[in-house]
Structure 1
């Protein structure tokens, strides 16, 4: 065998080894995402997951550098089924996978119990949608949210019920979840603070489909407004049954019902301007085009309209990575200080956090439904 024929495979081996060494220098960054991909609100969980996918794909396309290394982002997506027990199980799974951070969960009822698991493991968590104040009141250093909490959300809706809808008597229903009970309690505070009377308070579950007994009791009290603390999968059938019983009261709820799918879920029970809901976030006029363009790109990519939270998930991923870049590290303990002081302009607006991990100057967006579509009423701070 000649010297030349010996050198060709050797050169190839050297080139292959060099390429392998270069690839080994890439920094693999694992970002977990958790939401309900199964169950009654799977459409909301998938919306969230798509927001995370969009962010991860963009980051990998950009070739982001962290601490002098090219970052390769991996999305570890889990399904919590909106169930607290399942939520803690998948939280531990992500901890065992040694993720660099978690975006989620969607529901307050899953976010709160999972947050202890992430905290104990020293993993940073940003929820794009959990609004119960208890989440950030636990004192966990790595717990953040990018939306307003129930105090702002429910309180604003309670005041709106009286000031705009001129309600004197209100009925309140909640679904017994951490989110439903929390937002309903804050609504009651806001409404009572403006002089309204709570004539009846009822409870259901997040899996109920028959509300005839509850609604019959409420009808007898003749309220001006019915407030529901829960999600759209329950609110839709409730609205249909309200129409069947001839209840014409305004129907109000938080971000859990404020979705694109509510029209389909309520069918002919949606009414014209009967429903008023609030999104626990929102963009002011200066940010609107950026947000609209992002939603258009989302629809082009996935073939569906944004339900509600996808832009907040996208921003959550981006703000976490921005902190990693500033810290020159994807290790939670190293980028956490940068996240605490971050000032980031996202598609949902300006993002920075207070000492508890709540978003500063959180906005709310009030909507109604007309002509089978969700219609903006106003953005408030």
Structure 2
């Protein structure tokens, strides 16, 4: 057989030349490095046992709760990183810590500089009869004084699941707190004689606001503000906009972000985008008359755990966004909000490879994170 002419389209030389040309074109694209993240992550404290919530004091100190029942202080140190006080805060009330139960949220009173008040939410009681409780106490820097219960969920429930526990302050100075459905009788989320599966609104002294939606209704608990929640663990109040956002865990899918309105029903377990952990259908309905649909749904589940609104100066591109920590996804979802509607999400901080429990926007413009494990950390996110 006659050899092909040198350089003809089908010759080995021509094929090699074409391959080298193609490699020359592709190589620069393949070797191009991804742009560096616009942030760096610092560890402020380590060795915390399942830290759950973070709050800032006016003098720059941070309060950190640990689920087993400890409140810790992270204090600035001149010329160095903040340091965790060796001893936890004294004077905490008895806390039922087992499974998902324990010490949950911490909230600082807006008039803390004058009254020294903080608020704590936690599981109270025993395995066979427990409640979600909120107390107000005066904090002197090392100890709690005048600890006063201002809310205790009713009736008592069994087991150690679905407590909710997040708190927020509304623009009128009242306090809202989310309560899970207990994960045993989930239809209680639709019944007004129980706090299970509800968001409650109370005065900061524990009083019931006269304009709560179910005040005076026979058989209804007056603290109830909204109903139909499965396990709300993230809450953000924007007093300037008169908006309250909350997110909640679905079962297998159906995690939700909701805008909370007075007296509204958010559907659980009548409506959901998830199924049971066995794969069984919970309900045939995704929408139902009288149910307020979610602003956003995560299916598959990301297990949302904490939430913050960012309006700081360090990250201008992040302003106006909600940040949602995700336990299962081991990430933080940035949800840009435009006129109260969520935009395209960004998934952040997956390089940590850790379950993330809480996120807060600090007064310094940084973002603060808590990792959820037996050797949990407090992290600060700042520009690179």
TM-score > 0.5, shorter chain as reference: no
TM-score by length of 2: 0.30
Instruction: Flag the structure with larger Rg.
Output: 2
TM-score by length of 1: 0.30
Higher relative contact order (CA 8 A, sep 6+): 1
